[in-house]
Amino acid sequence: MGLEELAVRLNDSDYINWLKAGRCLLILKAALHPFVTQRTRAFHGNLLNQDSLLKEPCANSACRPRGNTLSSACRACSQWQTVILRHHRQRNTTVNWGNCFPPHWRTDHWELAKAYMPRGQGKVKGADQCDASALLNLISHCDCFHTVDLKVVTEMLAADLSMQVSGLDGVDSVDLDGIEFDSVSQQAETSADSIGQWEAELLQERLQELLGADDGDDAKTQDIEQLKMLGGFLQANTDLSQRFSTELRAIKSLEARE
Ligand SMILES: [Zn+2]
């Protein structure tokens, strides 16, 4: 199971902090997902009920963002743009139009939600595919969430999510000798396995983000650099290089194309 290598990684305080923060964000995401879906669906429905122009289908096949801008849109899409800006909680902000497919604003609440989110959401189809950061951005940018006290979210993000491996006395320190593998210490092994699962889940999410990123040259260059670093890290850990062999091959083929 690679528990020895996991234990070595958990002796790195930066790494364990990353794991803790990531775990916290995954819990937050799971909690936010149904709430955000319900609220954005209701917001979309209310907009349609209040403005008959928004119910008109897109009339121009050219209603597509170019980069991050959307200009010369049809009457209905232009109205959607106006309404989206009207409901933005931050005035004079940059809206990431590049996230959106305007002809679907009328029929898909998530196409609307993406206008309030960070760039790079173009292929995302719902809240379940977003990370916690993207969902928090939506909550803080769209006034359909005006009842949410953002301080509560901030407190939650700042909370200490201590990790303890059973059988070990340290909280942020894991002693390689502390993890036992005999049947008597089954609980310790299970707990270490759980941490290994969180770690795999977080790494998988990060790899998907970086391998799936498709917007902007700057973002690409930055993502490729981060992919190289992540690839090097996975390669240096036998258990992870085996688990993520497919992704490692994808990283190598990207590097070869450079
Ligand atoms: Zn249109």
Instruction: Give the DSSP per-residue string, 136-171.
Output: HHHHHHBGGGTTS-HHHHHHHHHS------TT---S
What's the CA-to-centroid distance between 77 and ligand 1, angstroms?
A: 4
User: SS3 of 66, please?
Assistant: strand
How far, in Å, CA of 57 to CA of 104, rounded?
A: 9
Average pLDDT over residues 117-128: 89
Is a pLDDT exceeding 80 seen at residue 85?
yes
Band (pLDDT 50/70/90 cuts) for residue 3 is confident
Give the pLDDT score at 173.
Answer: 40
Centre of ligand 1 from the C-alpha of residue 257, in Å:
37
Rounded to the nearest angstrom, the distance between the alpha carbon of 128 and the centre of ligand 1 is: 27
Residue 21 alpha carbon to ligand 1 centre in Å? 41
User: Residue 14 Cα, ligand 1 centroid: separation in angstroms?
Assistant: 48
Domain range list for the chain: 3-23+169-257, 26-157
Q: What percent of the chain has pLDDT over 70?
A: 80
Q: What is the mean pLDDT of residues 53-59?
A: 96
Q: Which of 128-137, 170-179, 194-203, 239-248 has the lowest mean pLDDT?
A: 170-179
**205 pLDDT above the threshold of 50:** yes
The span from the CA of 216 to the CA of 72, in Å, is 22
The alpha carbon dihedral of 180, 202, 170, 28 has a sign of negative
Calculate how far, in angstroms, residue 225's C-alpha sits from the geometric centre of ligand 1.
37
Q: Is 69 helix (H, G, I), strand (E, B) or coil?
A: strand
As beta bridge partners, residue 142 has 88
Q: Is the pLDDT of residue 86 over 70?
A: yes
Percent above pLDDT 90 for the chain: 38
Distance from the CA of 180 to the center of ligand 1, in angstroms?
62
Which pLDDT tens digit goes with each residue over 139-190? 988 999 988 876 765 585 555 555 555 443 343 444 434 433 333 344 444 5
- Quickly count: other Cβ atoms within 10 Å of residue 199's Cβ: 21
Total length of the chain: 258
DSSP state for residue 95 in the 8-state scheme: P
Question: Which pLDDT belongs to residue 234?
Answer: 93
Ligand 1 centroid to residue 57 C-alpha, Å:
7
Report the distance separating Cα 56 and Cα 78, nearest Å: 11
Q: Which region among 53-62, 170-179, 197-206, 212-221 has the lowest average model confidence (pLDDT)?
A: 170-179
The reported pLDDT for the residue numbered 14 is 82
The burial of 218, by beta-carbon neighbours within 10 Å (0-12 exposed, 13-18 middle, 19 or more buried), is given as exposed
What's the Cα-to-Cα distance from 4 to each of 11, 83, 152, 183, rounded to whole Å? Answer: 11, 55, 38, 17
52-56, 85-89, 97-101, 192-196: the lowest-pLDDT one: 192-196
**What are the two backbone dihedrals, phi and then psi, of residue 165, each rounded to the nearest 5 degrees?**
-95, 125
C-alpha dihedral sign at 68, 72, 74, 77 = positive
Q: How much is the average pLDDT of 197-219?
A: 75
Task: Looking at 213-244, list the stretches that DSSP marks H as alpha helix, in order from N- to C-terminal side.
Answer: 217-236, 238-243
Mean of pLDDT values over 206-232 = 74
Write down the mean pLDDT value for the chain.
Answer: 81
pLDDT band for 9, please (50, 70, 90 cuts): confident
Token representation of residue 52: 């008959």
Spacing of C-alpha 202 from chain mean position: 10
Rounded mean pLDDT of 214-229? 69
* CA–centroid distance, residue 129 to ligand 1 (Å): 26
- Terminal Cα distance for the chain, rounded: 34
Q: Rounded mean pLDDT of 25-29?
A: 83
Residue 93 has pLDDT above 90, yes or no: no
